[in-house]
Amino acid sequence: MRLRVRDLAWSAGRGAHAVPILHGVDLDVAGGLLTGIVGPNGCGKTTLLHLVAGLRRPTRGTVEADGEDLLALTARERARRVALVEQHPQTGLDLTARQVVELGRIPHLGRWGRRRERGGDVVEEVMATSGVAHLADRAWGTLSGGERQRVQLARALAQQPRLLLLDEPTNHLDLAHQIGLLTRVADLPVSTVAVLHDLDLAAAFCDHLVVVHAGRVVAAGPTAEVLRPDLVAEVFGVDVRVEAASGDRLRVQWRGLTEVP
Ligand SMILES: Nc1ncnc2c1ncn2[C@@H]1O[C@H](COP(=O)(O)OP(=O)(O)OP(=O)(O)O)[C@@H](O)[C@H]1O
């Protein structure tokens, strides 16, 4: 799926008290690639994902997927195309891990929610490939942060989306699971947009990067073109070295702050 966002804006609050958060963002996501969104805390990354996922209504702008207006779809239609894994998954669900993953099948259910349509095979498969099959019967509330994160990814994949939106998907994961998750996501034949804080992981796994700063996109394109030390210094206030690692991967090493936050 090709995602095309134009002039997307959002303000918190209304009327005279409205505070502009996103100031007219353009975003292009190529089919099948992993696009990373990076930027300092509070710059608007989650807001951007929420607008694309339809969780918030923009104050202006368009969101198109393969030429289709995503903002005009019903929530159910949109959920067959777009899946979102949120930064802070809900903790109060009275469900097992398998039931959480089955939630991902709801947009595909027939009127009577028949078993075949529930996609039992899809659920088993995504739980196995997400490494959470052994947690299937565990109560959601008893799972660790990292286990919840992986179950939420399985739930999103059970949706069989054409666009996968991930908000800090490596949160709570140990290093092996961070690398495992991003390797898997990078190999998915699905257009994926992931908000990432770790520039080194973003450099290693993302085909494209979008840099957001104070509610605006300040750079976008192939990772090697975007990830320049001068831009990182300007946006994050950090002095980094960007060097070639194995294959065509890049490595980002920080050396210090250029300014104290
Ligand atoms: N409902 C709201 N009311 C008021 N301010 C809001 C609201 N939602 C978001 N904001 C503000 O908008 C800004 C952008 O928030 P957002 O969560 O998109 O940032 P972010 O880039 O994802 O940050 P982080 O890296 O810290 O997760 C922040 O300053 C936040 O406080």
The separation between CA 197 and the C-alpha centre of its own chain, rounded to angstroms, equals 12
Indicate left, alpha or beta for 223 from its phi (over 0: left) and psi (-120 to 50: alpha). alpha
Architecture of domain 1-81+163-226: 3-Layer(aba) Sandwich (3.40)
Report the atom number in ligand 1 closest to the C-alpha of 43: 21
Going by pLDDT thresholds of 50, 70 and 90, the confidence category of residue 209 is: very high
What mean pLDDT is predicted for residues 43-47? 98
Cα of 56 vs centre of ligand 1, distance in Å, is 12
The residue to mutate among 8, 11, 37, 43, having the most atoms of ligand 1 within 8 angstroms of its beta carbon, is 43
CB atoms within 10 A of CB 260: 5
User: pTM value?
Assistant: 0.94
Q: Which of 21, 22, 50, 196 should be mutated for ligand 1, with most atoms under 8 A from CB?
A: 21
Q: Pairing state of beta strands 191-195 and 34-38?
A: parallel
- pLDDT band of 42, cuts 50, 70, 90: very high
- Which residue has its alpha carbon closest to ligand 1 atom 2? 12
pLDDT recorded at residue 245? 85
How many C-beta atoms lie closer than 10 Å to residue 114's C-beta?
A: 9
Instruction: Measure 244 CA to ligand 1 centroid, in angstroms.
Output: 33
Selection from 167, 198, 170, 199 nearest residue 182 by Cα = 170
Atom from ligand 1 closest to the CA of residue 21: 12
Query: What's the pLDDT band for 119 if we cut at 50, 70, 90?
Result: low
pLDDT, residue 28, reads 96
pLDDT band at 246 (very low <50, low <70, confident <90, very high): confident
Centre of ligand 1 from the C-alpha of residue 99, in Å:
30
Reported as a pLDDT band with limits 50, 70 and 90, residue 53 is: very high
Q: What percent of the chain has pLDDT over 70?
A: 95
Residue range 168-178: average pLDDT?
A: 92
68-88: string of b/e by CB count within 10 Å (b at 16+)? eebeebeeeebbebbbbbbee
Which of 161, 195, 209, 190 shows the shortest CA–CA distance to 32? 190
Distance 69 CA to ligand 1 centre (A): 25
Ordered by start, the domain boundaries in the chain are: 1-81+163-226, 91-160
Question: Distance between CA atoms of 129 and 249, rounded to whole angstroms?
Answer: 25
Ligand 1: lining residues by beta carbon, under 6 Å: 12, 21, 39, 41-47
Per-residue pLDDT tens over the stretch 2-33? 999 999 999 999 888 999 999 999 999 999 99
**In sequence order, which residues have a C-beta less than 8 Å from that of residue 196 and are 6 or more positions away?**
36, 37, 38, 168, 169, 170, 202, 206
CA–centroid distance, 252 to ligand 1, in Å, is 26
